[in-house]
Structure 1
Amino acid sequence: MTTPIISLQNLSKCYGDHRVLPGINLDIEEGEVVAVIGPSGSGKSTLLRCLNYIEHPTSGVIRVGQTRIEVGRDDSVRRVRELRRNLGMVFQSFNLFPHMTVLRNISLPQVRVLGVSEKEAEQVARKLLERVGLSDKAAQYPAKCSGGQQQRIAIARALALGPKVMLFDEPTSALDPELGLEVLSVMRELAEGGMTMLVVTHEMRFAESVSDRVVIMADGEIIEQGKSADIIRAPQSERGRRFLKAVNDR
């Protein structure tokens, strides 16, 4: 048995008396693509944000690669920084710096986080822009790029830090279908290249055809998981069937 690259044990998140995540247990293997689906308010985005410590979890254990954190005991600034070094995050909104060129948006984090030279960072940034099909946008500012282009830039920026795992939080939800396809195409290429990915998505076709496993969440809990096609086509739980019927009937 291989050791999972991500392991979550009883991960919980509470806001006062409201338990958003009662206690999530989830393992992800290296190179695996896992799609997380479910109704709005089911805790999908909170799960990603707690994994990356953007939201401080209430309790539980998080391990990514060799970095293990027991919430409330050894989640020092240094340990959280170690954890985040393994994770690349792509949000619904692109979160690019509007006053910086596309090239600078990708090169600056490398200089600040990895400590590489400006020249080396720019070389990596140009290669990544070529990889996402935007080598001609290096000198542009984000406002001059379409939404799909900005999201691909955000993916390149996350990849520039060399993460072991990529986290995607509804990366196409703010885009029209045509622009969303541009982003999904890049994500498909990452998956085919062996990148470990945890993707919160409403794109059922992507979940079925690209991910290795689908996880359905509802009310903060994982109610069902399994091989992607099996879950999408024939969910076993009543709540899962109800959710996917609503999606398909839209």
Structure 2
Amino acid sequence: MTFHYSVFVYLFILFTKCVFANVCKFDVKLTQTLHNEGFHRNITYGVVFNEEDESEDWINRDCIIALDQKLPPGVYVNPDELGELRRTNKLNALPKNRVNVELPTEQSDDSSVYIIGMVSESKVYLWIPIHARYHKAVAGGGMAKNEIEPPKMYLRCPDRRLDMCGKTISPSVSFLCNGSSREQCSWKEIPFTMMTSTLVWEVPIGNLDHYYAVAFGTVLAILSGSMYLLKAIHAYKMRKLKRA
């Protein structure tokens, strides 16, 4: 009896491995788009799971998705802005490291931000507000290019279904469960196909050749404003004396 039971268990395990060895077929497509103009923009993400075979959506159904977006020195997220968006339930995102929003590009390093959302259907749409840092002026001015690479993608499911995928996906990593607590959760990085090119955000650089012209114009504007203000104060006092 014990022998037959052992054989049955062995065959069951072997069958399970054979069946589940190929079940984790990740057909995930990601689009990454930059919107708006100026120094304050949004990145939107469109994630589509198993578009060709909906029977495979058991892998991602009711799971939590997280994007780990790396940003170059010339681009940053505002932690206070993200905190307000979390409080109003408009967005669940948090910086991966500390961010100093006052520094220019030349004094800044790469940074990263997590964008987290729920996979309720086969399509997920996420977004994040980003801002461009100022660059130090150079002779001739011009434009600075900030390249924003594709993010890493992670899944966290309410059960251990992703453990069945074996070597299909990378080992688990731990980071914050969400932006509202410091609790750590186990995530699995999953493969995807990038459907759009690397984002390039060009921002203008000041022209040092215009330094003296700008400085002269600034001084002239300050003097003109000061003279106008003094004249207005003098006129006010004269009217007050006449009434007295």
Q: Which band: TM-score by shorter chain?
A: under 0.3
Length-normalised TM-score, structure 2: 0.26
Length-normalised TM-score, structure 1: 0.26
Q: Greater share of helix residues, 1 or 2?
A: 1
